[in-house]
């Protein structure tokens, strides 16, 4: 009986947590993370294009990240932990990034319609 209990316990320890189990492992839920990562791409895109017209670009970028994390009630550490989980699961990350790309494309189409 002890061997069966130890074997089941060992198998449970080998399983990878899924993003749906985020409450138990402290990850940002998948849907929320898609929204956050979409906005991260926007912040980084603006930074890369040097669209911020201020000498203190670094402080502005940090302020945008602080506002983003505050709006979704997460901190930088939780974001990094969640990102690391997805990075370690490349097949799942591909689907996540595809969804982020679709959201960005939708935003671009919407912006073009308004012009």
The rounded Cα 24 to chain-centroid distance in angstroms is 17
At residue 12 the predicted structure's pLDDT band, cuts being 50, 70 and 90, is very low
pLDDT of residue 29: 95
pLDDT of residue 101: 96
The Cα–Cα gap between 64 and 43 comes to 7
Task: Enumerate the domain spans of the chain.
Answer: 26-114
Q: Which of 40, 41, 15, 37 is nearest to 28 (CA)?
A: 37
At residue 17, does pLDDT exceed 60?
no
At residue 22 the predicted structure's pLDDT band, cuts being 50, 70 and 90, is very low
Q: How many CB atoms lie within 10 A of CB 18?
A: 13
- 32-85 residue pLDDT tens: 999 999 999 998 888 777 655 666 777 888 899 999 999 999 999 999 999 999
pLDDT of residue 1: 44
Q: Are 37 and 96 within 8 A, CB to CB?
A: yes
pLDDT of residue 58: 78
């Amino acid at each position: 009986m002890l061997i069966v209990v130890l074997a089941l316990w060992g198998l449970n320890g080998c399983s990878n947590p899924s993003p749906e189990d985020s409450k138990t492992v402290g990850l940002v839920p998948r849907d929320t993370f898609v929204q956050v990562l979409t906005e991260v791409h926007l912040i980084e895109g603006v930074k890369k294009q040097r669209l911020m017209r201020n000498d203190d670009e670094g402080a502005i970028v940090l302020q945008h990240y602080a506002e983003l994390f505050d709006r979704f009630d997460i901190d930088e550490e939780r974001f990094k932990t969640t990102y690391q989980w997805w990075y370690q699961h490349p097949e799942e990350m591909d689907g996540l990034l595809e969804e982020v790309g679709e959201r960005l494309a939708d935003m671009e189409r919407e912006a073009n319609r308004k012009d």
